[in-house]
Amino acid sequence: MARSEYEELRTAFTAAVSHELRTPLARLLALLESAELPGADREALLRKARAEVEEMTELVDDILFLSALESEREVVSLSSTRAAPILQVAVEERRDRAERAGIRLELRIEDETLLVPLRARMLRTVVENLLENAIRYAGEGATCVLSLQGEDDSVVLEVSDDGTGVPEEDASRLFERFFRSDRARTTRGSGLGLAIVKHVVEAAGGRVEARGAPGRGLDVRLRLPG
């Protein structure tokens, strides 16, 4: 990448980060100002303020993680990892939260011996981001299926749901940093989860794609070397 292109990318990224932080900071300031008013429910306002701080912390953590990946300080493809146990733990850890959101989680593993060319931490990051994305955006009443199977010389990991879906023209853009479809703009989240997924998968020699349509859910499919 030419230096001018790098500088342009860096400038755009910095502007996007500033924009994304400005909203929770403004909400936090409004909450603190409200807490100073006579008769304010300070306990409730402080709970909301804590939630805003947690959102900003998540955003900063994701920014730092993505920055480390892009500067190659984080080794992605260091060894092979058996995928099944990590998928099982990720689903169980999110089952309660999914139920609260009205989402049903299913896990389908074709072969529990399948290995992927990722460090365990990297695979965990990928799976957790995919599940979090589905829980946030699929919509109440949806079923989300996490599946793992061997296909030719590859391992295919897929997260699909039958929920709200996204416009077809937005599907290919879901992996862009800070991109949000219409529904996602009304919910919380750093906007970096799927960008991190794409970077990790491609660094390991794999491919990632998303397919979706309004009212027909979203399918995110990863193909990694076997």
Q: Are residues 208 and 120 in the same domain?
A: yes
Same domain, 169 and 191: yes
77 DSSP β-pair partners = none
- Whether residue 49 sits in one domain with residue 132: no
Count up the domains in the chain and report the number.
Answer: 2
Per-residue pLDDT tens digits for 167-217: 888 887 888 866 655 544 444 555 678 888 888 898 888 999 999 888 889
Spatial CB neighbours of 84, under 8 Å, sequence gap ≥ 6 = 109, 111, 112, 113, 114, 148
Give the pLDDT mean for 5-20: 58
Picking from 70, 101, 116, the residue at the C-terminal end of a domain is: 70
76 within some domain: no
Segments forming the whole domain that contains residue 8: 3-70
Residue 76 has pLDDT above 90, yes or no: no
Q: Is residue 104 part of a domain?
A: yes
Question: Would you state the pLDDT for residue 144?
Answer: 96
Query: What 3-state class would DSSP assign to 159?
Result: strand
pTM above 0.75, yes or no: no
Residues 145 and 60 in one domain: no
111 DSSP 8-state letter: -
Return the CATH number at 170: 3.30.565.10
In a domain, 107, yes or no: yes
- The verdict on 137 and 204 lying in the same domain is yes
